Amino acid sequence: MKKIILSASLFITAISWGQNVPKVDFTTANASIRFDIAEHMVIGEITYQFQVNELTDSIKIDAKNMMIQGVKLNGQTPKYHYDKKKIAFTQGFNKGENSVTISYKTNPKQALYYVGSGTDLQIWTQGQGKYTSHWLPSFDDYNEKVIFNTKVTFDTGYDVISNGTLDGKTVNGKQTTWSYKMSKPMSSYLVMMAIGKFEKKTEKSSSGITIENYIRPVDASKYASTYQKTKKIFDFLERQIGFNYPWQIYRNIPVEDFMYGGMENTTSTIFSSDYVVDAVGVNDRDYINVNAHEMAHQWFGDLVTAKEPKDHWLQEGFATYYALLAERELYGPDKFYWELYEMAELITKDAKNNKNTAVYSEKATTVTYYQKGAWMLFYLSTQIGETNFNTSVRNFLNKYAFKNASTQDFLNEVVGVVPNFNVDNFKQNWLENKSFNTKDALYLIENSPIVKSYLGVLNVQPKAFDIKKEELLKLLKDHNTPTETKREIVFQLHEVPYEQAKEFYQTIAKSNNIKVRQALVQIVNEIPQDFKTEYTQFLDDQSYITKEIALKNLWMQDENGRAALLDKTSTWKGFNDHNLRITWLMLALATENYKNDKKAHWYSELENFAYNKYNSNVRTNAINALWFLNKYDSNTLPHLVNALVHHDSRFQKFGKDAIIRLCEKKEFREYFTKLIPYLPQDEHDALKKLMESI
């Protein structure tokens, strides 16, 4: 989140920080939204009720790049100033109750996205930080909390989801209006919409809260593996936090081409469809941690919101920590301590490579806010005791519910429960320290069985293989050895000749441990001839990652067996990014004399995956596969240009880096230069700007 400049000229509601009561307090919003799909236009009207407690020079509402079609202030048309960023009123409001209605149109460049087309169309929002004002006149300052009620009109046959409870649907021919109501206030960045075609299943928490889980009809068979343990996580968080779920309903909605893992909009989490997995994919990737993290945000971030950017860790650190606690509840302490160990390694590396790594900071890294923030809470819990920690958190939530709070506010609650705790020392050595107290951190977890076992094997890594061989083999064969330790043993075989490590290979091949088997597939660059039969069995593992690596390696190293290999794997699809299907098409097209009559069809199928009707992960996979067949295939070049205007910054970077690399050659520079006049305006502008910079 970007730094918010607290100067009088930029106040949204002219808050007087020296008093508990703001000069102007917006309380309720009633929004009506409809769409012009062809023009990607949002057409809306929003009415705010607000209280003027002390007369002020102006009142401002954020609204980015909108066409303001009408404004009514207390029923009258007022004078107002709009600079494409804020609507400012200098007169027409009275002390006491007021209302303002704004009618507008906008084609938002961010925060609201159109993905897919036709019956696969989805529209969803992502307002994290202060971006909701790109599609809804609202407040970039997250200290302004409002009760938002929303009506959304869209084509009948689609599902429309927004914050709060569904207050009714009205069908009017080809259009349906969905009405949602909230009962408590929230910051504007948590306002959401998600529109698409979904199936929905509901369950009830132990406290009676309805949990709605959505899924696309095409993914209906993946429901159970995607949403496993959702109710258990919800029930655990309520018990652990000790504060009842603060809203009336909870939802999970997966969307295509989401740029993050998930987003904790109040009552309704939007998450990436990458986490929609079947019974095989769930062994490589599951929604559990993201699910728990976003759910925890309903308390930490949505109920109590950080007061300033430097307090951001109160949201992300808490959500990350409580997701760990949820996994401890589901899987036991080994999982918990292993995650803490991995986080400690990540934080230590981040502290060495980056400057802004103090948790209590406006510009800290993502790792700092999330993982280091979680470690701060774990450390605090060990110092004051888990019971005192839980009491402090519960008191904090009770005191600041539906408000904003600072780091000091939280620490005050800790001191209130544990008066002798040296809070200044904790703040200085942990929250404000740019380095990470790795030694002190490891001391807290190194005696847990899983970390102790792993560190024991890690410590023998420098030893010659002959010296450690028997010890490692014994551990590998022991059913009680943790998976993480066994994987480390496998990784230590990386440069050991097969003849010396043969018994290890055979032991792993007979193992049912998917993660250990996967580790072996990852380190084997050249398949030993007398291990080929066992290696081929990895194709049958219940892991799409293992399958893909094994398929590529077998194809590369056994030219005579390629046809049989491709026949065996011809129906594979893989994750939602079609990783196995795209890999198969690439290898089939590269195999000489393999069903040549079908290759034109296969090429068309592969190239089709590069078009923008697919999400960016699919497109990236397809473009890379086409380059494997024909380096910088000319059919991929327009897709690189299209990537420049994609909403996902990772795909933007992929396209940008590729174009820059290509333009080192004269013929490609000429190609892209000549292409510019024929492009749609957004691609035209993006490519022209890039070409001028290289």
pLDDT digits (tens, 9 = 90+) for 109-136: 999 999 998 889 999 999 987 899 999 9
Average the pLDDT over 629-657 and give the result: 95
pLDDT bin (cut points 50, 70, 90) of residue 5 is: very low
CA distances from 300 to 297, 317, 326, 368 (A): 4, 9, 15, 17
At 236 the pLDDT is: 98
**Burial status of residue 480 (CB atoms within 10 A of its CB: 0-12, 13-18, 19 or more):** exposed
Question: How many angstroms separate the CA atoms of 594 and 569, rounded?
Answer: 14
Q: What are the structure tokens assigned to 364, written together? A: 């800290």
pLDDT bin (cut points 50, 70, 90) of residue 22 is: confident
* Best CA proximity match to 520, nearest among 531, 510, 509, 529: 509
At 1 the pLDDT is: 40
The model's pTM is 0.94
Q: Per this entry, what is the length of the chain?
A: 694
* Best CA proximity match to 512, nearest among 549, 470, 474, 541: 541
pLDDT at 16 over 80: no
pLDDT bin (cut points 50, 70, 90) of residue 7 is: very low
pLDDT at 666 over 70: yes
pLDDT at 3 over 80: no
Q: What is the mean pLDDT of the chain?
A: 95
Q: Which residues lie below 8 Å from residue 686, measured CB to CB, with a gap of 6+?
A: 641, 644, 645
CA 145: distance to chain centroid? Answer: 24
Average the pLDDT over 324-336 and give the result: 97
At 646 the pLDDT is: 96
247 phi/psi in degrees, rounded to 5: -120, 180
Q: Which residues lie below 8 Å from residue 464, measured CB to CB, with a gap of 6+?
A: none
DSSP string for residues in 324-369: HHHHHHHH-HHHHHHHHHHHHHHHHHHHHH-S---SSSSS--HHII
Question: How many angstroms separate the CA atoms of 141 and 3, rounded?
Answer: 11
* Alpha helices, DSSP H, located in 366-406: 366-367, 373-384, 386-400
pLDDT bin (cut points 50, 70, 90) of residue 356 is: confident
pLDDT bin (cut points 50, 70, 90) of residue 20 is: low
Q: Which amino acid is at 523?
A: I
pLDDT digits (tens, 9 = 90+) for 141-182: 999 999 999 999 999 999 999 999 999 999 999 999 999 999
pLDDT digits (tens, 9 = 90+) for 246-272: 999 999 999 999 999 999 999 999 999
Enter the DSSP assignment of 530.
G
Q: Which amino acid is at 238?
A: E
Q: Which residues lie below 8 Å from residue 516, measured CB to CB, with a gap of 6+?
A: 483, 486, 487, 490, 508
The SS3 assignment for 30 reads strand
User: What is the percent of the chain where pLDDT is above 70?
Assistant: 97
Average the pLDDT over 575-579 and give the result: 96
CA distances from 555 to 530, 533, 539, 574, 587 (A): 17, 14, 12, 18, 8
Q: What are the structure tokens assigned to 682, written together? A: 């957004």
pLDDT at 599 over 60: yes
At 117 the pLDDT is: 86
Question: How many angstroms separate the CA atoms of 189 and 297, rounded?
Answer: 13
446 phi/psi in degrees, rounded to 5: -70, -20
pLDDT digits (tens, 9 = 90+) for 447-496: 999 999 999 999 999 999 999 999 999 999 999 999 999 999 999 999 99
Strands 199-204 and 210-215: antiparallel
Q: What are the structure tokens assigned to 635, written together? A: 């059919």
At 15 the pLDDT is: 37
pLDDT digits (tens, 9 = 90+) for 89-114: 999 999 999 999 999 999 999 999 99
- Neighbouring C-beta atoms of residue 338, cutoff 10 Å: 20
**Burial status of residue 344 (CB atoms within 10 A of its CB: 0-12, 13-18, 19 or more):** buried
pLDDT at 51 over 80: yes
pLDDT digits (tens, 9 = 90+) for 499-554: 999 999 999 999 999 999 999 999 998 999 999 999 999 999 999 999 999 999 99
pLDDT bin (cut points 50, 70, 90) of residue 281 is: very high
At 217 the pLDDT is: 96
pLDDT at 2 over 80: no
pLDDT at 17 over 70: no
pLDDT at 6 over 50: no
pLDDT at 8 over 50: no
